[in-house]
Structure formats: structure tokens, C-alpha cells
């Protein structure tokens, strides 16, 4: 889900590296940017899977109990609340920022991995609740495409221009209430 939804958001970071780094470094640095970005999401995914395994092993959280609770609704409502916070708005702006990077030697490689990790942390702070809501609602491919398009639109328009992510989460929460 991260590679399908979040890697398209790295286009601004790729442009930043193309502008900052010498041309002969581009092919070496792009995989390092993705490595730093994906490592953050892999750590978060591992923590979520571990937490999910612990919850699934407890008898209170059996399938019969959880199937009666609209988990997707709660997930999207909490994501809608998160989209209205100042912290998320700052995280979305941080997804668009660049950092100074060295252009020679192994420092360039280290700075590129660090830049990818910074992008991964800010993007996870901005989009993790929405992605968790998609996770608990069942990974519907149509919903993933809608959410990706809205997040890209928000990134292009910047968060002060649109409240579309809030309304999308709110509508998806209502959608999960309908049987």
C-alpha cells in the first residue's frame, strides 16, 4: 500500500535531488532516497503488524466481536479529526520542504538517505491515520485510488487551500456505516 499510495508523493523530493546534485550522481542517489523513505514506513508497518498480531491473539478481539463494530467508520472519523489539526498541516508542509545536502563523497549518499528518512517521517505524520483507516476497512482498491488522488491534489494545492481530505474521510466514514 505504501508503494502504491505514497511513492508518487516523492516526486518533489526527486526534483529536489535532481536540482541539488550533479548529474552523474542521479542514478545512484534515487534508490537511496527511496531506501530512506521506505525504511521509515517499514518500521511503522512492522510495529502495526506486531500490534495487530497481539490484538488478534486476544480472545476479546475475535472475528465475531469485531464484525459487529464499524471499525472503518471509526478509522475514517479519527483520520478526519487528524486532518484538521495544526500538526498535520505542518507535516504536509514538511513533505514539500527540501534540505541542504552535500554533493561529493559518501556524505552525499548519507545525506540522501537522511533526506528520504525526513520525508518518510513527515509523510507518515501527515498520512498515517488515513492509511490506517484504509487498512482497517479492508484495503479496497477503489478507495485506495480515491484517497491517493485526493492526497496528491492536496499536496499540489497545499493544505490551506483545500479541506478535501477532511470531507473525503468524513464521507468514507459515512460510507462504512451503510451496510
Residues 7-20 have pLDDT tens digits of: 777 777 888 888 88
Phi-psi region of 104 (alpha: psi -120 to 50; beta: other; left: phi over 0): beta
Worst-scoring range by mean pLDDT, 54-63, 99-108, 165-174?
Answer: 54-63
First CA to last CA across the chain, in angstroms? 25
**How confident is the model over 71-106, as pLDDT tens digits?**
888 889 999 999 888 888 888 888 777 787 888 888
Query: Residue 40's pLDDT band (boundaries 50, 70, 90)?
Result: very high
**How confident is the model over 116-152, as pLDDT tens digits?**
999 999 989 988 999 898 888 877 888 888 888 888 8
When divided into structural domains, the chain yields a total of 1
Query: Residue 159's pLDDT band (boundaries 50, 70, 90)?
Result: low
Is residue 161 pLDDT above 80, yes or no? no
- What interhelical angle do 141-157 and 86-96 show, nearest 10? 80
Quote the domain boundaries for residue 159. Answer: 2-177
- Counting residues of the chain whose pLDDT is more than 90, the rounded percentage is 17
CA distance 120 to 126: 10
pTM: predicted TM-score of the whole model, two decimal places:
0.82
pLDDT of residue 89: 85
116 with 37: CB under 8 angstroms? Answer: yes
pLDDT of residue 68: 60
State the chain's mean pLDDT as an integer: 83
pLDDT of residue 113: 92
Query: Residue 155's pLDDT band (boundaries 50, 70, 90)?
Result: confident
Amino acid at each position: 500500500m505504501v508503494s502504491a499510495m505514497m511513492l508518487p508523493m516523492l516526486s518533489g523530493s526527486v526534483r529536489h535531488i535532481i536540482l541539488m546534485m550533479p548529474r552523474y550522481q542521479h542514478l545512484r542517489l534515487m534508490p537511496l532516497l527511496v531506501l530512506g523513505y521506505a525504511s521509515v514506513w517499514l518500521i511503522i508497518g512492522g510495529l502495526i503488524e506486531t500490534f495487530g498480531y497481539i490484538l488478534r491473539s486476544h480472545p476479546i478481539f475475535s472475528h465475531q466481536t469485531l464484525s459487529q463494530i464499524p471499525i472503518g467508520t471509526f478509522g475514517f472519523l479519527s483520520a478526519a479529526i487528524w486532518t484538521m489539526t495544526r500538526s498535520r498541516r505542518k507535516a504536509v508542509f514538511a513533505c514539500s520542504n527540501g534540505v541542504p545536502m552535500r554533493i561529493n563523497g559518501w556524505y552525499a549518499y548519507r545525506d540522501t538517505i537522511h533526506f528520504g528518512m525526513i520525508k518518510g517521517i513527515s509523510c507518515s505524520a501527515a498520512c498515517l491515520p488515513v492509511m490506517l483507516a484504509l487498512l482497517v476497512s479492508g484495503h479496497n482498491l477503489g478507495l485506495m485510488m480515491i484517497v491517493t488522488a485526493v492526497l496528491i491534489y492536496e499536496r499540489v494545492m497545499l493544505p490551506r487551500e483545500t479541506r478535501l481530505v477532511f470531507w473525503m474521510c468524513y464521507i468514507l466514514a459515512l460510507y462504512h456505516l451503510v451496510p
